[in-house]
Amino acid sequence: MKDRHSVVSAPRRGSLLGAALAAAIAAFAMPQASAQVGVNSVQRSFINLSFEEPNLQTAGCRMYIGEQFVPGWTTSHGLWGQENVGNCVPPAGFVAGQQARILELWRTPRTNGGLTVNARSGSQLAELNAEQLSRISQNVCLVPGDVVRWQFSHRGRSSAVNEDRMAFLLGTAPIVQVGTTNDGTGRVISVSQGTATSVLGPNGWRDYNGSFAYNGTGGVTNIGFEALSGAATTGNFLDDIQVYLKPFIELTGTGFQTVEGTSAGLPELRVVGTLDDDLNILVSVTGGTAVLGTDFTTPSGTNTFSVFIPAGTYEGNVARPLGLTALGNAIIDGSRTVQLTLQPSPNDYLLSSTQSCGAAAIAQATWTLLDDDLDLSIEKTASATNVPVGGNVAFTLKVAHLDGVDGSGAVIRDPAVAGLDCSAAVVSCSASGGAVCPASPTIGALQNAGLVVPTLPAGGQLELGFSCVVTASP
């Protein structure tokens, strides 16, 4: 911040009183502006894709664990006692034997019944057949026209001849049914939506993938996996799942404020979804009173620029800056605005709310550049030019906010000067032009931390008065 105050003092009248007259200063702290950043977001992809959470840690262990402990996942399994076999490290709150809607998770490599199983990805997997033929699923936000790409890995448990069969479903409508043995031999049994293929994976797994066009009305939709065969307690290993959708993009708010020359409150956007490739989001400056290159800059130096987002999974809890800069100056030029608009690119991303499934995106915003400059003067005068030791001298401080940003919060200090005793002084204050005096001003506050002026608009004035005793000659 620059030129926050100017100090104007009376001519020197002897060295002691001259020092006192030159001491008064003012400081001004501009409030920090902040961006509007939300924390709740819609789900646009699967999370906990390979059942690595909670981290069971102990190789070879197995748990029946309540769905509340497995991020992202829910189950149709009926209430059953939780179990910890093989000394898994349970999450906080887990109680063995407590009834819950359970998922069965393995920490691999795990050997059971002479069969050693390794996860397809990471170290953990799920078995659909815990104690019942059940369904596990996640809720994902879909919009009309979505093209859904998917993949998962499936493995039979008990036989190299007889398949474990499973369905992948959108709500209650099947997408695909698959069957796989414990050596990875398998097939797509039927396809109800779109296309599906499979290839042999490592360690007895088979990898399935496909895509379909979503023709529904949109909204939060349950996508899940349901066991179709196998014993109620054994079968249908599942791992390495992904659902690919075009990400949702929007600005984090409709308005941003940044003090010129600072970085707080710069415009940001939010991404929800999984990017398998890097992404460039197009942004345009579509209006406003600020001047590009004088008041602010963009990454490209022009009114159209892009925001680079690297490949990865984004859950909407981290805001991404647009790369704008608010330039500072020492000119009183008032607040200026920049109108920003996200440009559509439907082949790469969708402009849609990241906070409420199916709602409109925040695609336009106003960025306000706050002027940090003001013209603040202080004039200090004394009642006499030559005062003997033991005599009194009255001082007057005139504070005037001549122009610029609101000066409310300015701090007025008049540090103590050797040769003057002001300890008994009573500080008076009068205000005009919309200014408001500090509440109960004291000489101690004035000479040390300073008096905070609660209201000081442009054109406002204060007059402070106090008297001191001369204790030493000039």
DSSP of 30-99, one letter per residue?
PPPP-----------S-SSTT---S---STT-EEEEEGGGSTT-EE-PPEEE-EEES---PPTT--TT-E
pLDDT at 35 over 90: no
* Alpha carbon separation from 53 to 46, 47, 432, 437 (Å, rounded): 13, 10, 65, 59
How far apart CA 335 and CA 330 sit, in angstroms, is 13
How far apart CA 40 and CA 195 sit, in angstroms, is 33
Q: What is the mean pLDDT of residues 358-372?
A: 94
What pLDDT, on the 0 to 100 scale, is given for residue 407? 85
Q: What is the mean pLDDT of residues 44-53?
A: 94
What pLDDT, on the 0 to 100 scale, is given for residue 293? 97
190's enclosing H/E stretch is strand 186-191
Mean pLDDT of the chain: 90
Angle (CA) 138 46 206, round 5°: 100
Strand partners, 412: 26, 451
What pLDDT, on the 0 to 100 scale, is given for residue 39? 47
How far apart CA 397 and CA 247 sit, in angstroms, is 61
What are the two backbone dihedrals, phi and then psi, of residue 446, each rounded to the nearest 5 degrees?
A: -60, -40
- Which sequence spans correspond to the domains of the chain? 15-30+374-470, 62-244, 248-370
Q: What is the mean pLDDT of residues 312-329?
A: 92
What pLDDT, on the 0 to 100 scale, is given for residue 54? 98
> Long-range pairs for 107-112 at CB < 8 Å and ≥24 separation?
107/56, 107/57, 107/58, 107/59, 107/60, 107/61, 107/62, 108/59, 108/60, 109/59, 109/60, 110/59, 110/60, 110/61, 110/62, 110/86, 111/60, 112/62
How far apart CA 155 and CA 212 sit, in angstroms, is 23
What pLDDT, on the 0 to 100 scale, is given for residue 38? 38
What pLDDT, on the 0 to 100 scale, is given for residue 33? 40
Percent above pLDDT 90 for the chain: 77
Q: What is the mean pLDDT of residues 58-86?
A: 97
Q: Compute CA 143 distance to the chain's CA centroid, rounded to the nearest angstrom.
A: 24
Q: Hey, CA dihedral for 311, 316, 317, 318, is it positive or negative? A: positive
Higher pLDDT, 231 or 130: 130
Percent above pLDDT 70 for the chain: 91
Least confident of 20-34, 38-52, 145-159, 352-366: 20-34
What are the two backbone dihedrals, phi and then psi, of residue 194, each rounded to the nearest 5 degrees?
A: 75, -140
Q: Which of 76, 120, 126 is nearest to 105 (CA)?
A: 126
Owner of token pair 């199983």: 117
Q: Does the 248-370 domain belong in CATH 2.60.40.2030? A: yes
Residue type, 135: R
Q: What is the pLDDT of residues 156-176, one digit of tens each?
A: 998 999 999 999 999 999 999
Least confident of 27-41, 198-212, 361-375, 457-471: 27-41
How far apart CA 64 and CA 79 sit, in angstroms, is 11
Q: What is the mean pLDDT of residues 278-289?
A: 98
Q: What is the mean pLDDT of residues 43-63?
A: 96
The CA-based diameter of the chain, rounded to the nearest angstrom, is 114
**Which CATH architecture describes the domain 62-244?**
Sandwich (2.60)
234 confidence band (pLDDT: 50, 70, 90): confident
Q: What is the mean pLDDT of residues 448-460?
A: 93
Least confident of 28-37, 278-287, 458-467: 28-37
What pLDDT, on the 0 to 100 scale, is given for residue 235? 85
202 confidence band (pLDDT: 50, 70, 90): very high
Q: Provide the whole-model pTM.
A: 0.73
How far apart CA 442 and CA 379 sit, in angstroms, is 19
Q: What is the mean pLDDT of residues 107-129?
A: 94
What pLDDT, on the 0 to 100 scale, is given for residue 27? 56
User: In degrees to the nearest 10, what's the CA dihedral of 378, 382, 386, 387?
Assistant: -130
Q: Hey, CA dihedral for 171, 241, 237, 129, is it positive or negative? A: negative
Q: What is the mean pLDDT of residues 403-414?
A: 85
16's enclosing H/E stretch is helix 15-21
**What one-character DSSP code corresponds to residue 436?**
B
Q: What is the mean pLDDT of residues 281-309?
A: 98
**What one-character DSSP code corresponds to residue 260?**
T
| Cα R_g (the chain), whole angstroms | 35
